[in-house]
Amino acid sequence: MNQIQHLECEIQEYKIELERHQNAIRNLNCRIDNAKRNLEDLKRKEILEKYKPQLEGYVDKYIDDKQVEYPFDPTKKLLTRATPHKDFNTILQLFKSLKEKGRLIYLYKIREPTSFMSDYSVSYISFIPE
């Protein structure tokens, strides 16, 4: 094998090794994304559990955000995401008002205030039962 062929083979070997590493990086990025989703799900569930006693009588069902059905018929259902509230009591007052109007509430996320977001936020579906 002459020197040119030898170098061409070497380049091909490096390309194959590079592709293997790129696949490994993609695989690791997928694992990281899955772990982040699992962590977010766990945090969301912990927060819901924390507030469940206060929400008793207001929330008809706790759902996973993957259970949200699309498209929505706005005459029957109201999808609300990340509605900001200054404190948790305003969320309770909102839910009380919806219940007084005969609406069902399916809750799927509460976010507590953080260092960069000073409000609570709530995501839910509200609709008139058929």
pLDDT per position as a tens digit, 49-101: 999 999 999 999 888 766 666 555 666 666 676 678 888 998 999 899 989 98
Cβ 72 vs Cβ 79: under 8 Å: yes
Mean pLDDT for all residues in the chain: 86
Give pLDDT, residue 46: 92
Give pLDDT, residue 8: 95
Cβ 99 vs Cβ 105: under 8 Å: yes
Average pLDDT, integer, range 2-11: 93
Q: In whole angstroms, give the CA distance from residue 100 to residue 96.
A: 6
Average pLDDT, integer, range 39-44: 90
- pTM of the prediction? 0.68
Bridge partners (DSSP) of residue 109 are: 123
Q: Write the CA distances from 36 to 30, 98, 120, integer angstroms.
A: 10, 33, 21
